[in-house]
Amino acid sequence: MKTTKLLALTLALVAVRAEARTFEEIKKDGKIIVASEGAFPPFNFFRGPTLTGFEIDVAEALAKKMGVGIEWRALSFDALLAGLRQDRWDMVIASFGITEERAKAVTFTNPHYCSGGVIVAKDPAIRTVKDLAGKIVAVQTGTTYLEHVQKVPGVKEVKNFPKDTDARAALVAGRVDAWVSDRFVAKAALESNPAAGLKMGDFVFVERIASAVKKGNTSLEKAIDKALAEIMADGTYEAISKKYMNEDVRCR
């Protein structure tokens, strides 16, 4: 293709994708593009080739209420919010905690669960935040776990991993002293691999977890919030939550 033609085509594509799609436009199209990670069980993970988990089912239930289908995208955690800015997808659901910093870049919907970061270690003497002093702690890059562990006084080293499952693996292999991750992720890890001898300690912090849309995409934010209220009221949410976690994890 000639360079001028290629340039014209590129400009046309950029022009089409310059604005976030409103809910009306998504509805007309019939499909919402939702991005997640797929490496954070029980919230979003792969079972064979299939993206599944609590958040995947919740998003499917939301889409059903909204009268649209979902076109899924699975990407690394650190690419998810940036892609919203570039209109590469309409919505992100990947256990993002609502933080002031993130809220500057994207618009959060109402939270779909409440949880927090907990300490996991093999050594039963590592349970409290104070016990992290002098220790090597594994966390996933770009997470609120990293942010909070960095503030704990006296931690020897914070080791970053692109995937939370790799941070967990480092602990299982004995390459770090502790792993800080979501309480329900930790619970699932302990249950799925009892032989690893992992023990869950205290919360480091608590947070509200929500999906996100492009900054200022109010029509989509409102549509998601309405659908979320509906699935929380009609038992759909509770059933999904109990399926993956044996309890209702909504914020109270």
Q: Which residues bind ligand ARG (CB under 6 A)?
A: 37, 39-40, 44, 77, 94-97, 140, 143-144, 164, 182, 209
* 3-class DSSP assignment, residue 154: coil
* Nearer to ligand ARG (CB atom), residue 44 or residue 236: 44
Measured distance CA(54)–CA(40) in Å, rounded: 10
Going by C-alpha positions, the residue among 112, 69, 105 that lies closest to residue 231 is: 112
Q: How far is the CB of 211 from ligand ARG (least distance, A)?
A: 12
What dihedral do alpha carbons 203, 208, 210, 216 form, nearest 10°? -130
Q: Which of 240, 211, 197, 215 is closest to 87 using CA atoms?
A: 215
Q: Which class for 205: exposed (0-12), middle (13-18), buried (19 or more C-beta within 10 A)?
A: middle
Residue at 217: amino acid letter: N
Q: How far is the CB of 215 from ligand ARG (least distance, A)?
A: 17
CB of 6 to ligand ARG, least distance (A): 36
CB of 185 to ligand ARG, least distance (A): 8
Give the nearest distance from C-beta 43 to ligand ARG in angstroms: 6
Parallel, antiparallel, or unpaired: how do β-strands 44-47 and 39-40 relate?
A: antiparallel
Identity of the residue, 95 or 217, whose beta carbon is nearer to ligand ARG in the bound complex: 95
CB of 250 to ligand ARG, least distance (A): 16
Residues whose CB falls within 8 Å of the CB of residue 39, separated by 6 or more in sequence, listed in order: 45, 46, 77, 163, 164, 165
By beta-carbon proximity to ligand ARG, the closer residue of 177 and 182 is 182
* Largest interatomic CA distance in the chain: 67
Nearer to ligand ARG, 39 or 137 (CB): 39
Task: Output 167 or 228, the one with its CB closest to ligand ARG.
Answer: 167
Q: What are the structure tokens assigned to 25, written together?
A: 């436009």
* Closer residue to ligand ARG in complex, CB, 63/94: 94
- DSSP tag of 78: G
